Amino acid sequence: MARQEIDVAECLRRGAIGALGAIPGTLAAHPIDLVKIRIQTGAGSARAAVRGLGTRASDWPRYYRGLGPGVLQKAATRGPMFLASEIGTQCCETGFGMPRERALVVGSLSSGYVTGFLAASFEWAKVQRSLGATVGSVSAKRRLAVCHGAGLRNAVFDATFFGTEHVARRYGNLPPEATYALGAVAAITLDFPLDVALKRNMAAPTTSPVPRVGATLLAFRLLRDRGFRVVFAGLGVKSCEFGVSYACTGYVSTFFR
């Protein structure tokens, strides 16, 4: 039966799960995220990225470079991501009579673009600082290009994540930690080429000119010119990062039932 009206309490509950779950998730997964960024921006392999950061006990602070912007970016993205996805999903249910599964995909596509676009500045700052760069002034055209790429990537991620998580929870009889981690791994596998292209644009100095091609076209060119093995080189590391991060969010969700 189609939903008749927006359930505000459920929307707020989902938003709280996303925002609060992002904090322990980011703290647990940030070192892995740093290794992933270095792989995507030229380190080549996880081993080379770890060597670049350091392997001695005294080097551990390097693994938490950019943690502040990282927490801000995840909280600014994941809280609104969960909230906006639920609002978009319920709008599709009430306005168009869509079943829950279809509404999740359609609603999350649109909400993912908006939240990704708005939170791109936090992510950009995190990438720049993790590489030891100083964030300077950015032209409006370059900022718009990067934000648009982030919106497209998040649209793909959100639709895949929420759809997969819903199916795994409903038909797989799995705990929240597992369904959230499974949804995240499925989502990053689909949006990984877009993320690689976006990270390359974000890693460039802020004084660089506006990219001549967007993230989508750049992703296709990377796949064509460098092959799947090179482009997907950091997928294992990112799967680990997001699996840990979203498993924490899934655990936090158990306190909001």
Q: Do the domain assignments include residue 71?
A: yes
**pLDDT confidence of residue 22:** 94
- Is pLDDT at 174 greater than 90 in this prediction? yes
**pLDDT confidence of residue 113:** 92
State mean pLDDT over 192-214.
74
Q: Do the domain assignments include residue 2?
A: no
The pTM score is: 0.79
**pLDDT confidence of residue 139:** 74
Q: Do the domain assignments include residue 199?
A: yes
The residue type at 242: F
Number of H helices, E strands in the chain: 8, 0
Domain count across the chain? 1
Q: What is the pLDDT of residues 67-109, one digit of tens each?
A: 888 888 788 778 889 999 999 999 999 998 999 889 999 999 9
139 phi, psi to nearest 5 deg = -70, 155
Question: How high is the mean pLDDT of the chain?
Answer: 84
Euclidean distance between CA atoms 25 and 213, whole angstroms:
33
Q: Which residue has the tokens 């925002």?
A: 19
**pLDDT confidence of residue 173:** 86
Tell me the pLDDT band of 3, cut-offs 50, 70 and 90: low
Q: What is the pLDDT of residues 152-168, one digit of tens each?
A: 999 999 999 999 999 99
List the one residue out of 242, 143, 256, 141 whose CA is nearest residue 195.
242
Euclidean distance between CA atoms 78 and 89, whole angstroms:
16
Euclidean distance between CA atoms 45 and 38, whole angstroms:
9
252 phi, psi to nearest 5 deg = -60, -35
Q: Do the domain assignments include residue 245?
A: yes
Range of the domain at 233: 8-256
CATH of the domain at 144: 1.50.40.10
Q: What is the pLDDT of residues 116-154, one digit of tens each?
A: 898 888 888 877 777 766 556 667 788 888 889 899 999
